[in-house]
Chains A and B, each alone.
Chain A
């Protein structure tokens, strides 16, 4: 029924071109050399797209990781006489192991600490290489044997170009696969903030580590190619400057896009090479102006294209995501019997310094009801949400869910129990389409490993996850917008997308933080209908909302908070008459 998807068919012709193009008669030899260096840089840059552009972790250490792969194969093939092909798995294993070790520390660092952390271990490793006899100290290892195929050494640049560019295309292919898989969506979800990702069961620390190790393994792969292309290794190409070079290639190409990595690598390599020729002609051979002009061009390019060049070329739109309507439905969890106590909040307290944000709040939520949590701004409603969902830790008190204490659990464990939420400040991933965002909600309902994602062994499961996402979007009335960039929707609709995402978790309990804010009147009515229908399916809802009309028409009971304290609890109509509540609301006109 569909025509072949071009976007999926590109690898085959690309592989053919990579294998054959270098052998085109009349192709200048130096173009092939440039292509080789471009290819190696591109592989490192693709890793940086995942790590920095998408995962949000800035690394100044990729060249050092490349060195790890290069040294491994150099030592094995030169000093131990093993086949260079053995150097590949060995290099990848060593880089992966090294990166897991470094990453275990690094990814726990946040923001700038992380960037400095990568500088720290890369400087450390650089000087370790330079002072280590095993790897030849500063002089390095020279005369590394070339790759061989059936006894033929690949000494010709063109043969290396074929190998390198097959490598580039495979790297791009598996990276695209990864980013389109369950694990990849988790990495991309980091861009929307770790809190939102964790609230849908993403193990953010492990996901960050995955991105880190993945980028490192690609760098290690590039290192293996480098060692057998260059046939010599020493510390100079693995230091801080080359690392910066890879990073700037990634940024100038478009840090969040795999083709951007290729573009950036090619552009930086070519521009540097052309400058070597052009500048002496313009300024004479006496000065050295390459770095000056290169730096200036870099600055100018970023003024013109702060997001890199690829988005300008591609006029990016998220790809249309085909939905397999016939995919089997995901198993759903059983709902508790209506009326039984579902969530018990006991003497919950949270203080920030001297400020008591939540003051011994207690209430019980029964299965199948909609409970409204209302109160003026700063009453502690959102903090209460964060305490229940594990985003924040209470100072005292506890929370029980279906009879089990969940107070000390991390957000992702609470999500796994079937508690889903939306956020007061919308936390969608701007670089993902609506349906991709919604599919993150189903993270815990899939099980495919990152490796399965890389190799496309996860397609059946992924189709089911997407079918579920489409089903929830359809319920929320936004299926037509599925392929739009999430943050291009009006803010009110983004809140609805968040609800669809929460529904994807197959929740027992749904916590909605001001879902009606920014909606028009008719949309509010639709939302109310949706929430009633969800309740009818057995889902319990805890709702924070300011819009009294919306709340009163919808909820079964109300809890009123003010200054962190519970003012009143009970059926909507009763609470409405409570003098304290009236006082609180009238006393603080918003």
Chain B
């Protein structure tokens, strides 16, 4: 292997790692705030990507109707969960979140989609369609289980993953999609061949990480989320509703998932079910990073991306074997350093 191959593999690993890092960040966030291991996060990647691809081709994406359906289900769930202590304001709020917002997005899409919108419009529209599904799902599936053990939340997330994958097949069909890149530029630097899209990915990933950092450090909502992550009860006592924190965390996770999908679909072929594999990498990074540490998750994501890239060069048939065996020593090191823990289940 010469230096140029090394460089190319490193570049590939970093681009993939950047996506894993975004997913890992949102998984960490969701877990910290709600204790949910968000297995269905990967579906948001696929949904975002395929919705974007459909919009760029001037089609009306099927996921639109899922948004409507989830809105109705969210309304029902919200009414049921808050039965007895609804106020006029809370009902109006609920209606706005579950009916008005999805309806507006659906209307906008129905108008814009046939016009074959530009790439940026298509991307924004896709984000608008996919992101709200995540908090709606939180309201429907997880909010009532706020005090359930982690295992039950995990299996609920698995159920969600199954249902969403099935829906993905219905909406997008079994075949893959690829979308036009934001930029057709190809930058050559020595042996490196940097597609414009790869630069977009790294730039947006970095920007998003900085934005998240600023959000957690500087805004009241961000601080509230961190407080909830540290101590749910405590956060509630000082007036931060856990439900609100959960909704925000899920919305961020949905947003990041959909964005990741939109970013990579110009570089590769995605199918309705490819989100899971990508999500699994993010999950891996999140856990190696400690499920609580944001910088740790980013580092681990890059590590996963690089291992994957190099393993696919050295022994492609055993790539998964190598990637997943390589993380075991890391896990061992992390848990030994961590010492025995009392898992509060």
Contacts and interface: CB of A to CB of B under 8 A. Distances in A.
B162 A298 contact: yes
Contacts of B284: 116, 119-120
Contact of B334 (A113, A204, A297): A113
A194 B335 contact: no
B83 interface: no
B324 A123 contact: yes
A251 B145 CA distance: 14
Interface stretch (B124-132, B148-156, B209-217, B246-254): B148-156
Interface string A98-122: 0000000100111111111101110
B162 A116 contact: no
A121 to B, nearest CB: 7
A113 B343 CA distance: 12
Q: Which one of B155, B156, B158 has the greatest number of beta carbons of chain A within 10 Å? A: B155
B169 A109 contact: no
6 contacts: A56-B345, A108-B336, A124-B321, A295-B163, A296-B159, A299-B141
A253 to B, nearest CB: 11
B320 A247 contact: no
Interface string A225-253: 00000000000000000001001100110
B16 to A, nearest CB: 17
B160 A299 contact: yes
B87 interface: no
A131 interface: yes
Given A117-B328, A120-B325, A292-B163, A251 B155 contact: yes
Given A111-B341, A113-B287, A295-B159, A288 B169 contact: yes
Interface of B: 37, 140-141, 144-145, 148-149, 151-152, 154-156, 158-167, 169-170, 280, 283-284, 287-288, 291, 317-321, 324-325, 327-328, 331-332, 334-336, 338, 340-343, 345
A294 interface: yes
Contacts of B325: 120-121, 124
Contacts of A297: 159
Contacts of B283: 116
Given A116-B331, A127-B318, A194 B340 contact: yes
B170 A288 contact: yes
A326 interface: no
Contact of B331 (A109, A298, A299): A109
B141 A112 contact: no
A94 B141 CA distance: 41
Given A288-B166, A292-B166, A295-B166, A120 B151 contact: no
Contact of A292 (B167, B319, B328): B167
A70 to B, nearest CB: 20
A348 B35 CA distance: 38
A302 interface: yes
Q: Which one of A112, A123, A297 has the greatest number of beta carbons of chain B within 10 Å? A: A112
Nearest to B339: A110
Contacts, number: 143
Contacts of A124: 320-321, 324-325
| Chain A contact residues: helix, strand, loop or mixed | helix
B144 A303 contact: yes
B80 to A, nearest CB: 10
A110 B167 contact: no
A120 B327 contact: yes
A457 B319 CA distance: 48
A486 interface: no
Given A120-B324, A302-B155, A110 B162 contact: no
For the complex of A and B, 9 pairs with smallest distance between CB atoms: A295-B163, A295-B162, A298-B159, A291-B166, A292-B166, A120-B324, A299-B159, A306-B148, A116-B287
Nearest to B344: A193
Interface in A278-312: 287-299, 302-303, 306-307
Interface in A522-551: none
A113 B331 contact: yes
Contact of B163 (A108, A195, A291): A291
A248 B155 contact: yes
A307 B155 CA distance: 12
Contacts of B334: 113
Nearest to B169: A288
Given A108-B336, A121-B328, A302 B163 contact: no
Contacts of A195: 340, 342
Given A110-B335, A127-B320, A302-B152, A291 B328 contact: no
Contact of B165 (A126, A128, A291): A291
Contacts of A204: 340
Contacts of B318: 127-128, 131
A298 B320 contact: no
Contacts of A194: 340, 342
Contacts of B144: 303
B321 A193 contact: no
A255 interface: yes
A334 to B, nearest CB: 33
Nearest to A249: B155
Contact of B332 (A109, A193, A255, A289): A109
Nearest to B159: A298
B317 A131 contact: yes
Contacts of B288: 116
Q: Which one of A113, A128, A290 has the greatest number of beta carbons of chain B within 10 Å? A: A113
A58 interface: yes
B169 to A, nearest CB: 6
Contacts of B148: 302, 306
